[in-house]
Amino acid sequence: MSSAVVIPAAGLGLRLGGETPKAFREVGGDSLLVHAVRGLKAATAADLVCFVVAVPPGSEETVGKELTPYVGDAQLIVVAGGAERPASVRAALDVVPVDGIDCILVHDAARAFVPADAIERVVAAVRAGAEAVVPVVPVTDTIKRVGPTGDVVDTPDRSTLVAVQTPQGFAPDVLRRAHAAGADAGVTDDAMMCERIGVTVRTVEGSPDAFKVTRPQDLLLAEALLAERRMA
């Protein structure tokens, strides 16, 4: 069996600043989106045969030409994304092939440097029977819950908390059911949508390298990581 990946890349990334949409900001001469696709392709055990990318409307042809050299013999489909992330994922999900796909990954282009082994762990867990899988890393900061006035309400036990990354993996029918349910108000990822329809979400080990480029200082971290990899 084979896997497909959906990459929502239509967001502006306002916290990152600048006029270029986040997925197309460059690190080391290539866009974050190119780095993300290249990293996914390196996960050979994932058997990725289809990449579906949702981009700002009007940029489909340009992005298709940019990504074609990096997908090898896999199918590349570029679609217009929506105003919000769930809409972009749905637009991409609508064109993912049905036959022969046993795992669909959903991956943030902003997590452009995920190691191959982290990707492969997600796919392996889905193929082992999990309906939804997320890669996670331990939370190292103390987390406080605060009320409307800004006062601390309580402090969760840090040992029970993890930070969730991407790519997240799903049994195809489960992901389609979650999106068909339309319960996306307030959701922050596709795993949360699956939780809302009663699906158990399994965790696997993530990677510190799978950080999300969100703010300008994250670009500096990405440049440093890329330089280190190129020297290795």
The pLDDT of residue 60: 96
The pLDDT of residue 15: 58
The pLDDT of residue 17: 55
Q: Which residues of 33-43 are buried (b: 16+ CB within 10 A; e: fewer)?
A: bbbbbbbbbeb
The pLDDT of residue 9: 94
Give the mean pLDDT of 123-138: 98
Nearest to 114 by CA among 214, 211, 9: 211
Distance between CA atoms of residues 74 and 103, nearest Å? 15
Rounded percentage of the chain residues whose pLDDT exceeds 90:
87
In the structure, what pLDDT confidence band is assigned to residue 208 with cuts at 50, 70 and 90? very high
In the structure, what pLDDT confidence band is assigned to residue 182 with cuts at 50, 70 and 90? confident
In the structure, what pLDDT confidence band is assigned to residue 87 with cuts at 50, 70 and 90? very high
DSSP 3-43: EEEEEE-----GGG-SSS-GGG-EETTEEHHHHHHHHHHH-
Distance between CA atoms of residues 42 and 36, nearest Å? 10
In the structure, what pLDDT confidence band is assigned to residue 16 with cuts at 50, 70 and 90? low
The pLDDT of residue 22: 86
The pLDDT of residue 232: 77
The pLDDT of residue 18: 63
CA 200 distance to own-chain centroid: 19
Rounded percentage of the chain residues whose pLDDT exceeds 70:
96
The pLDDT of residue 117: 98
The pLDDT of residue 80: 96
Tell me the fold of 2-231: Spore Coat Polysaccharide Biosynthesis Protein SpsA; Chain A (3.90.550)
Nearest to 55 by CA among 20, 7, 97, 19: 7
- What's this model's pTM, rounded to 2 decimal places? 0.94
